[in-house]
Chains A and B, each alone.
Chain A
Amino acid sequence: MKKVKIYITLKSGVLDPQGKAVQTSLNTLGYAEVQEARVGKYMELKLDDHTDAEKQVEEMCAKLLANPVIEDYQYTIEEGVTQ
């Protein structure tokens, strides 16, 4: 099996109210060094071995998993993963 790890983040320049709230909370807890926080999503997929994972995952991200208007994505693919 192939294991895919996908990281989805808001594009730089897109306002992240949730990240802003996290940053404020961290500052409140005394972590004054936190200048910015951005909140994203992490997903894991398991794919059949015989698939062209790179091509398929690229398509999945563009079509559904990320919204290209506001989000960027990155992923890693691990080969030969067992259950």
Chain B
Amino acid sequence: MKFAVVVFPGSNCDRDMYHAAKDALGEEAELVWYQSANLSDYDAILIPGGFSYGDYLRSGAIASTSQIVADLKRQAEKGVPILGVCNGFQILLEAGLLPGAMLRNKNLKFICHFEELKVANRDTMFTTAFQQGEAISLPVAHGEGNYYCDDTTLKQLKDNNQIVFTYTNNPNGSINDIAGIMNEQGNVLGMMPHPERAVEELLGGNDGLKIFKSIVNNWREKYVTSA
């Protein structure tokens, strides 16, 4: 399986993401510069964290206007798995690939530590390696991770089982304790916690690796075993 890690000016978790896919997972991965990438060459697309364009205007807003986002939307429609982490999640929100928006953390602090999450939906291409309701631990590192959406959107997220991860002890004020959501089609996941920073015991935990393993397993099941 071949992963693209899209690099924007100001991305800073791109190498961690590459390491997770390439070394920890053992699949093919390439770092692709946002201006020269052809996303149709890849089986899955990873949008890493960081501070694209210095978070000018709003986090992810400037990156969401770049040419590559049009390509990203085409791949999303085709059903290609897309994972956006932290600033990658913010870019997916600003691009309209996921509903809602991010606000400043409720306590105004940049938070950076391991946080306990609950797998709220294990029936997705990103989470089949977990148990339903499993408590996992992943690092968070953000100042604007306070997810917000209106009541109608929240109801849709709940009704369609689009809430994938929730916080056990909500660290940022996020509505409904939301840590990660997916689109209705189920192939675009955005999350604030960093699975790529928890892919081996040396890093303090390997719960994050299961997300990458789920992507590969589900992709193989769909495209390889049926071939």
Contact = CB atoms under 8 A, between A and B. Distances in A.
Interface stretch (B28-36, B73-81, B104-112, B195-203): B104-112
Interface stretch (A47-55, A63-71, A75-83): A63-71
Contact of B148 (A18, A21, A69): A69
B104 A17 contact: yes
Contacts of B100: 69
A14 interface: yes
A1 interface: no
A10 B103 CA distance: 10
Q: Is the interface of B mostly helix, strand, loop or mixed?
A: loop
A15 interface: yes
A14 B175 CA distance: 11
A38 to B, nearest CB: 13
Interface residues of B, number: 19
Contact of B101 (A64, A65, A67): A67
Given A67-B61, A69-B148, A18 B94 contact: no
A64 B64 CA distance: 9
Nearest to A66: B58
Nearest to A63: B65
B173 interface: yes
Contacts of A18: 104, 108
B57 A69 contact: no
Nearest to A43: B57
B148 A65 contact: no
Given A17-B104, A17-B105, A67 B58 contact: yes
Interface string B52-63: 000001100100
A21 B94 CA distance: 26
Given A15-B146, A17-B105, A70-B148, 20 more contacts: A14-B103, A14-B148, A15-B106, A15-B173, A17-B106, A17-B107, A17-B146, A17-B173, A18-B108, A21-B108, A63-B65, A64-B57, A64-B65, A67-B61, A67-B94, A67-B101, A69-B99, A69-B100, A69-B101, A69-B149
Interface of A: 14-15, 17-18, 21, 63-65, 67, 69-70
Interface of B: 57-58, 61, 65, 94, 99-101, 103-108, 146, 148-150, 173
